[in-house]
Amino acid sequence: MPSASPAAADPVESVRAALLDWYDRHARSLPWRTPPGDAAPVDPYRVWLSEVMLQQTTTVHAAPYFAAFTRRWPTVADLAAAADDEVMSAWAGLGYYARARNMLKGARAVASGHAGVFPDTEAALLALPGVGPYTAAAVASIAFGRAANVVDGNVERVMARLFAVETPLPAARTQLRALAARFVSDHRPGDWAQALMDLGATVCRPRTPDCGVCPVAFACEGLASGEPARFPVRAPKAERPRRTGVAWVLRDAAGRVALVRRPAKGLLGGMLGLPTSDWTAGPDQPPPAAPAVADWIDAGTVEHVFTHFSLTLSVRVGRGEGGDWIWTEEAGALTSLPTVFAKALIASSRA
């Protein structure tokens, strides 16, 4: 008789046991994490902060920011009391700046509406500004031991492969969430969520799943199909539109750089920036007017990719004094500017 296929038996209990056992031995050591088996209470502020930072950001990139934030603002009440500008400057380089603004709103809601104590249910967490279903579930399970379905891109990928889901993303999302929900239990819910995250990040990687060391390979239909990396199936992507613009790097005699505070609403809202033109939809626009009179020198272009468009930014360099600028030392500007402007500032030295 041929042996049963991996799909024949319901894998929930065996997969849970195997993955939790693997997590006990291989859990990543992360600055915001309480290791498995550690009886120390988990600080929801640290879980929440890390989850906000980790949206669209790698653990390696987020770790120094997490350390800096928790050193400077050790509690949610400290963060809530911080000035917007200070927090936005400390966030510079992490990208997706709307997250930082929402994070501050969330911290202030906890400080003012909950006396500085994070609510301990998924529903109450979800009611906080800036907290979506993923973050609410992650904090509820990891910090408060609630049985919550924590589903991010990593978890979607693992589920799509475990069950060889042929429906393409994004249409498959509901199905993948329902599959993930089958594994949620009152037994070690936080460890389960983190074990799945670790599996997706270190073994069931997007392009190169390391199935040879995977603790749940025995149940994986994607592996059984012979092409595990084919999952999750994706609908063909529309190409990102390209936009163009100009950034002006104006330096004074002391070498300081002229910066502006961007409007609170919109892309990179509230952040420091270089003066720029509009970022128009195409390259065939009339040349924009410079923001000051100077002998502007062309320093080439820099490329930057935002979520919804790619930007080619021409960099022009000039000398000037006075004006209504935020004059900033170059080193300070480099650390406090969003990446797109830091790139332009670095490129300006070519002129």
| Per rule CB under 6 A, count of chain residues that contact ligand SF4 | 15
* Interface region with ligand SF4, contact rule CB under 6 A, candidates 34-42, 59-67, 217-225, 330-338: 217-225
Sorted by sequence, the CB contacts under 8 Å of residue 138 that are 6+ apart come out as: 47, 51, 148, 150, 193
Q: Which is nearer to ligand SF4, 209 or 273 (CB)?
A: 209
Please say whether the beta carbons of 289 and 320 come within 8 A.
no
Query: According to CB under 6 A, which one of 136, 151, 193, 204 is a site residue for ligand SF4?
Result: 204
Distance CA 222, CA 220 (A): 5
| Residue 51 annotated among the catalytic residues of the structure | yes
Q: Does 11 bind ligand SF4 (CB under 6 A)?
A: no
**Min dist. Cβ of residue 222 to ligand SF4 (A):** 5
Distance CA 291, CA 251 (A): 13
**Min dist. Cβ of residue 211 to ligand SF4 (A):** 3
Nearest to 139 by CA among 241, 238, 234, 52: 52
User: Residue 268 — left, alpha, or beta (φ > 0 → left; ψ -120 to 50 → alpha)?
Assistant: left
**Min dist. Cβ of residue 221 to ligand SF4 (A):** 8
Q: What are phi and psi of 77, to 5 degrees?
A: -65, -40
Q: Does 217 bind ligand SF4 (CB under 6 A)?
A: yes
As a residue count, the chain comes to: 351
Q: Which is nearer to ligand SF4, 106 or 209 (CB)?
A: 209
Query: According to CB under 6 A, which one of 53, 62, 131, 158 is a site residue for ligand SF4?
Result: 158
Please say whether the beta carbons of 219 and 162 come within 8 A.
yes
Q: Does 220 bind ligand SF4 (CB under 6 A)?
A: yes
- Residue 65 in tokens: 């920011």
Q: Which is nearer to ligand SF4, 223 or 249 (CB)?
A: 223
Which H or E run includes 56? none
Please say whether the beta carbons of 220 and 158 come within 8 A.
no
Q: Does 197 bind ligand SF4 (CB under 6 A)?
A: no
**Min dist. Cβ of residue 142 to ligand SF4 (A):** 22
Q: Does 203 bind ligand SF4 (CB under 6 A)?
A: yes
Q: Does 176 bind ligand SF4 (CB under 6 A)?
A: no
**Min dist. Cβ of residue 112 to ligand SF4 (A):** 43
Distance CA 57, CA 282 (A): 29
Q: Does 150 bind ligand SF4 (CB under 6 A)?
A: no
Radius of gyration, CA atoms only, the chain = 24
Active site residues: 51
| Binding site residues, ligand SF4, CB under 6 A | 158, 161-162, 203-204, 209-211, 214, 216-217, 220, 222-223, 228
